[in-house]
Amino acid sequence: MRPSKRAFDELRPVSLERNYSRHAEGSCLVRFGDTHVLCTASLEERVPGWLKNSGKGWVTAEYGMLPRATGDRMRREAASGKQSGRTQEIQRLVGRSLRAVVDLQALGERQITVDCDVIQADGGTRTAAITGGYVALADCLAWMGQRAMVDPAKVLKDHVAAISCGIYKGEPVLDLDYPEDSAAETDANFVMTGAGGIVEIQGTAEGTPFSQDEFLKLLDLARKGINDLVGMQRQAIEAAQ
């Protein structure tokens, strides 16, 4: 029995609230249950130094957490003067995941920065960030399309979404919330495209090592969950048109 009483293969209630920010070219407040992440996509007419005169653009991500997004207040990273290893790991993952479905050539020499700021955390912030960040990115590209800067359909090759799975009390379950996450023996994050291709897999044994068989069960759960998430992304984006 899961603490939230969900079925083993049941996502938390997910919502994708577009145009949350007045200023950003694209934005989405994504909610996976009590995990709320504000994703904004910001367009800049410049690229990192190593891409100058390459004709290619760049998509990058940054991640942050409000100090009291969590049960205990965490020290503000701006005050401590550096981003934690965890923060850097997550923002690298989000950036890689989004770039996996972007044609940087078709984007042209511009940078889109997707900021993912956790307003409230209850496990799964990085997978929510990828899933919602995709919507913000899509909206930013639509905004550019309306201004004839790019052809959004060429830049964005597919959907990308992410979900965590884990082995909780011996059972493979989908979309861990914080109480499950902190007790799980194994915790894995999956990033997949709309076409079902795998972009990133990260599986970690917190306690006992896991077997190939267990891992494949998590992968199956993830596939199902990501399928649902991609459907919600589609709905949210179509609603926008």
Q: Does 19 bind a copy of itself (CB under 8 A)?
A: no
**CB closer to a copy of itself, 11 vs 140:** 140
**CB closer to a copy of itself, 9 vs 89:** 89
Among positions 32, 134, 168, 210, the unique one binding a copy of itself when judged by CB under 8 A: 210
Residue 126 annotated as lining a ligand binding site: yes
Q: Which of 118, 136, 147 is nearest to 45 (CA)?
A: 147
**CB closer to a copy of itself, 64 vs 152:** 64
Supply the angle between the helices 85-99 and 125-146 in degrees, to the nearest 10: 40
Q: Does 22 bind a copy of itself (CB under 8 A)?
A: yes
Rounded to the nearest whole angstrom, what is the least distance from the CB of residue 7 to a copy of itself in the complex? 23
Q: Does 57 bind a copy of itself (CB under 8 A)?
A: no
Among positions 73, 154, 169, 234, the unique one binding a copy of itself when judged by CB under 8 A: 73
**CB closer to a copy of itself, 72 vs 238:** 72
Q: Does 23 bind a copy of itself (CB under 8 A)?
A: yes
Residue 38 dihedral angles phi and psi, to the nearest 5°: -90, 120
> What is the Cα–Cα distance from 72 to 66, expressed in whole angstroms?
11
Residue 227: CB atoms within 10 A of its CB come to 14
Supply the angle between the helices 212-239 and 125-146 in degrees, to the nearest 10: 30
Residue 149 dihedral angles phi and psi, to the nearest 5°: -85, -35
Cβ(75)–Cβ(129) below 8 Å? no
Q: Which of 40, 63, 56 is nearest to 114 (CA)?
A: 40
x/- contact string, 100-139, with a copy of itself (CB under 8 A)? x------------x-x-x-xx-x-----------------
**CB closer to a copy of itself, 24 vs 238:** 24
Residue 112 dihedral angles phi and psi, to the nearest 5°: -115, 125
Q: Which helix (H) or strand (E) holds 165?
A: strand 160-168
Q: Does 42 bind a copy of itself (CB under 8 A)?
A: yes
Region of 47-55, 145-153, 166-174, 195-203 interacting with a copy of itself (CB under 8 A): 195-203
Q: Which of 220, 37, 202, 50 is nearest to 136 (CA)?
A: 37
> What is the Cα–Cα distance from 11 to 169, expressed in whole angstroms?
18
The residues that touch a copy of itself, with contacts defined as CB under 8 A, are 21-24, 27, 34, 38, 40, 42, 44, 62, 64, 66-71, 73, 76-79, 81-89, 91-92, 96, 100, 113, 115, 117, 119-120, 122, 188, 192-193, 195, 197-205, 208-212, 215, 219
Binding site, residues?
A: 86, 124-126
